[in-house]
Amino acid sequence: GLSNGAYRVRFSGEGFATEFYDNVLDRYNPYSTDLDTATVLVISNSASISNINASLAGAATISGIVTGSGDLPLAGIDVYIYYGDDWYNREATTDDNGEYLVSDLPSDGYTVKFYDPTGNYLEMQTNIVLSEGAHITNFDVTMGIASKISGMVTGPDGTTPLQNIRARAYRWNGSGWDSVRMVLTDADGCYTIGGLNADNYRIAFTDYLNGNYLDEVYNNAPNLDSGTDVVVPAETTVPGIDASLTAASKI
C-alpha cells in the first residue's frame, strides 16, 4: 500500500526497546536525531524491498513505591524518566498503594524525577543506569513535606477578588531568577504555591489571560529585581502574600 517515495521503518513491541531501521534506538526525544539517522528506503516503480529486518533488544523497567512520612503510601505522584535535561522519555503515576511501573526503556543512563502535582511534597530526583532488559524493582523513595506560600489577589479597590491570575514563585540562582512553580488564583482570588524547599522566593502576579491588570511582584513592585523576598522555612506555609493589581491601559 505504499506509494513511490522515501521511507524510514520503526519497530516497537511490548517488552522490547523501540528502534528504527537499521539498529537506531528510538529514545522518544522530539529534539533528537534518532529518526534522522535511520536508514532511508526509497521505493519507485511499484518495487518491493525485502529483508528489512530488526533484532530488538529487551526493554528495561523500573518499579517501586513512593511514600511520605511514616511510610504513608502516596497516590497520584508523577514519575518522570529523563534521558536529557529538556524532555522526559517515559512517565507513570503512583496508584493508591504508592506503586508505579515504567516500562519499555532502552538501555542507557536516566534521571528519575518524582513530582507531587498537589504541592504537598517536595520534588525528588535520582540517577540510574539501565542495562538491556534490566528489571529494577524496589526503586523506592520517601518524599519530604513541602513548604507553601499563600495569599489573595484583588483588583485596584483591594477587595474585589481576581480569578485566574498567575502567581509564580521565583528563586535567585546566583545570576538570575529561576521560575520554580506556578498556580492560578481561584474564584475567591486565593492561591497556594506548594512544593517549595526552605529558601527565599519572590512572587510575581500576571493577568496573562485578559491583560486587564498590570504585572506586579510582591510587595507592590514592578519587576523581580525590585521585589521583596518571601522567607520560607522548612515544612511551613507562609500566608498573607497578597497583591492588589493596578488596572492596565489598552490600545
Weakest mean pLDDT among 41-45, 72-76, 156-160: 41-45
* Measured CA angle at 118 (ends 117, 119), to 5 deg: 90
80 with 36: CB under 8 angstroms? no
The pLDDT assigned to 18 comes to: 86
pLDDT, tens only, 161-192: 999 999 999 999 999 999 999 999 999 999 99
What is the mean predicted confidence (pLDDT) over 10-14?
89
Using CA atoms, how far apart are residues 246 and 156, in angstroms rounded to an integer? 5
Cα–Cα distance, 10 to 186 (Å, whole number)? 45
Counting other chains too, the contacts that 177-183 makes at CB distance below 8 Å and 24 or more residues apart are 177/202, 177/224, 181/119, 183/119
Residue 8 DSSP class? -
Distance CA 100, CA 67 (A): 11
- Three cell numbers, residue 187: 474564584
Cβ atoms 122, 197 nearer than 8 A: yes
Confidence of residue 103 (pLDDT cuts 50, 70, 90): confident
pLDDT (0 to 100) of residue 91: 87
pLDDT of 46 strictly over 80: no
How far is Cα 26 from Cα 19, in angstroms, rounded to an integer? 5
Cell of 157: 479597590
pLDDT of residue 108: 82
Q: Which residue has the higher pLDDT, 112 or 34?
A: 112
Q: How does residue 154 score in pLDDT terms, banded at 50, 70 and 90?
A: very high
Beta strand pairing call for 199-206 and 216-217 = antiparallel
Q: Which three cell numbers, joined as nine digits, stand for 190?
A: 486565593
More confident position, 104 or 63:
63
pLDDT of res. 84: 64
Residues 242 and 151 sit within 8 Å (Cβ to Cβ): yes
Work out the number of other CB atoms within 10 angstroms of the CB of residue 23. Answer: 12
